[in-house]
Amino acid sequence: MLRCAVKKFAYFATLLTIVANIYIYTYPSFHPEQCSWNCSTKNTTLRGDLTLLEKVKEYFNDIQEQWHASHASDSDDVHIMAFGDPQIKGNWPKTPYVSRLDTYGNDYYLGHIYDMMQQRLKPQVVTVMGDLFSSQWIGDSEFHNRTKRYISRIFKRDPAFIERVKIENIDEEGQYKANWSKWGDRFNEILSTVQQNDTANEDSLFGFGYENIQSWNPDLEDFLFINITGNHDVGYSGDATYQHMTRFHDLFGKDNYWIEYETNTTHPWRIVVLNDLLLEGPALQPEFVDATWIFLKQLNERKFNGSTVLLTHVPFYKREGLCYDGPDTRYYPDVDAPESYKTGLLRSQNHLGESVSNEVLNLIFENGKPGIILTGHDHEGCETVYNKRSPLTWEATKDIESNIFVKEITVKSMMGEFNGNTGLVTGHFNTDTMTWDWTFSLCPFAIQHVWWFAKVSLLVAIFTWSSLLFV
Ligand SMILES: *[C@@H]1O[C@H](CO)[C@@H](O)[C@H](O)[C@H]1NC(C)=O
Ligand SMILES: *[C@@H]1O[C@H](CO)[C@@H](O)[C@H](O)[C@H]1NC(C)=O
């Protein structure tokens, strides 16, 4: 009797396991169009409501395509994969076991999304849109530990480099400690040299500029991995300290730079990485804000004549109602010690300020060529258009309303509660108009429980089958 019931349950658990695992390992095939690069050669017919049968057919076609795909991209299109705000959490001595397990599983959930999408689409650029971690109030050792999880569990990168950084910056307890006085001395030395000389060609000092970089480490990988600063990584300008900046530079690289591609062709384009948390004040360390503006001026001096992909964290100014977040800027109130030194400083912002937005758009998109801005921050995602209205002002709208415009995509978060999204940007050079066209699509996965279910049901099935040996 019991044996029979257990056996039935084992079959049932096996069936569920198979279904759940097929789902999580083929999920992009359920949304083949959203989960592929925009294909300019394919005739995309208008897809009204597909019948169930058509959907099933589409699913199997996509799986078949994946099976046979050579993956070698034969087009000259640019393919960028963007992940919004992973915000990975940490554990404290009092964190309950259930939350610890949740945090542990969440790393692998995010890693699953990355693996699936990376293998399916072989991007040229992978970028994480800031808020890599959930808090700017963590110590250096915890910052290093989370970077290690980010590297090994989520993005499968070589951890040797961060271990080296740790060995070079170790405290008495054997933990990583950011050497901020050394970093700060060097930063201030460069800043004052650049400010005294006041020449445009000092970008070599800060090392802002690159050209034709396909990978930071071509021996290991054939794509470019870009980290963006978020308010939870370095803080808003009222929070950002030398310690924040040092450890970000140590473990994630520079916060401001540009990479120019195909400069001497008919179709130049560039990537601009901007730390837009440090554009406005009042700042705790106003010199950081100075450095960001120096970066923007040097970038503008390039008089680059191609198209720009801007990667940054906080979205540009827009009126209430266009996106989930409306404008909201807060300052630290007048409080008693120990935080009184922050009184009046910038505490948080949903968007950049209106005049700062105009200035930045003017400096980066001065040449009037179409471009695209990718941001993070609001988790819900949004698409807007910045239309050039007069020589110096831009206005955000839902649709294109001007000849000169730039699209802004706020990439929906990759966190489970937002369904584990991947943003896909395709850049296609249109030889009829001689401009780059940038398109975006969002590929959703599923809430984290679905992933958990697939893993747990497998354990249950194995356990039930093995228990049959004993009943
Ligand atoms: C970081 O990880 C190391 C090694 O596992 C551990 O000794 C240390 O306590 C961790 N740091 C924090 C703040 O938990
Ligand atoms: C971004 O961070 C990862 C993890 O530390 C690192 O492997 C990668 O090289 C960084 N990217 C840049 C541009 O420094």
| 70: Cβ contacts below 8 Å, ≥ 6 apart | none
* Predicted local distance difference test score (pLDDT) of residue 155: 98
pLDDT above 60 for 346: yes
The residues, ordered by sequence, that sit 6+ positions from 335 with a Cβ below 8 Å of its Cβ are 342, 343
Q: Work out the average pLDDT over 396-414.
A: 97
How far apart are the CA of 82 and the centre of ligand 2, in A?
A: 14
Q: Say yes or no to pLDDT of 42 above 60.
A: no
The amino acid at residue 145 is: N
Q: Of all helices (H) and strands (E), which one includes residue 79?
A: strand 78-83
Q: Does residue 405 register a pLDDT over 60? A: yes
- Res 200 pLDDT > 80: no
Q: What is the pLDDT of residue 334?
A: 84
Q: What local confidence, expressed as pLDDT, does residue 41 receive?
A: 53
CA of 253 to the centre of ligand 2 (A): 6
Closest ligand, as measured to the CA of 127: 2
Position 418 pLDDT exceeds 70: yes
The whole-angstrom separation of Cα 69 and Cα 119 is 11
Distance of CA 75 from the midpoint of ligand 2 (Å): 27
Reported residue count of the chain is 471
Q: Are 130 and 87 in contact (CB under 8 A)?
A: no
pLDDT score, position 43? 45
Per-domain boundaries in the chain: 77-443
What is the tens place of the pLDDT at every residue in 259-297? Answer: 999 999 999 999 999 999 999 989 999 999 999 999 999
Residue 386 phi/psi, 5-degree rounding, is -100, 115
The per-residue pLDDT of the chain, averaged, comes to 94
Interval 388-394 mean pLDDT: 94
Question: What does the alpha-carbon distance between residue 439 and residue 435 come to, in Å, rounded to a whole number?
Answer: 13
From the CB of 326, is ligand 2 less than 6 Å away? no
Domain 77-443 CATH assignment equals 3.30.70: no
Residue 117 above 50 pLDDT? yes
Q: Which protein residue has the closest C-alpha to ligand 2 atom 2?
A: 252
Q: Which atom of ligand 2 is nearest to the CA of 225?
A: 11
The alpha carbon of 250 and the centre of ligand 2 are apart by a number of angstroms equal to 9
**Is 91 near ligand 1, meaning CB less than 6 Å away?**
no
Q: Phi/psi zone of residue 148: left (φ > 0), alpha (ψ -120 to 50 degrees), beta?
A: alpha
Nearest atom in ligand 2 to 158's CA:
7
User: Which amino acid appears at position 345 of this protein?
Assistant: L
Strand partners, 405: 387
Which amino acid residue places its CA nearest to atom 3 of ligand 2?
Answer: 252
Which residue has the least CA distance to atom 14 on ligand 1? 142
Instruction: Give pLDDT tens digits for 296-317.
Output: 999 999 999 999 999 999 999 9
Q: What is the largest CA-CA distance in the chain?
A: 89
Find the 232 Cα to ligand 1 centroid distance in Å. 20
Average pLDDT over residues 156-175: 96
pLDDT of residue 198: 62
pLDDT in tens, 254-266: 999 999 999 999 9
Q: Is the pLDDT of residue 345 over 60?
A: yes
pLDDT of residue 149 exceeding 60? yes
The arithmetic mean of pLDDT across residues 388-397, rounded, is 95
> Per-residue pLDDT tens for 1-27?
888 999 999 999 999 999 999 999 999
Residues 44-82: tens digit of each pLDDT: 455 667 889 999 999 999 999 888 765 556 678 999 999
Establish whether residue 145 lines the binding site of ligand 1, counting it when its CB lies within 6 angstroms of any ligand atom: yes
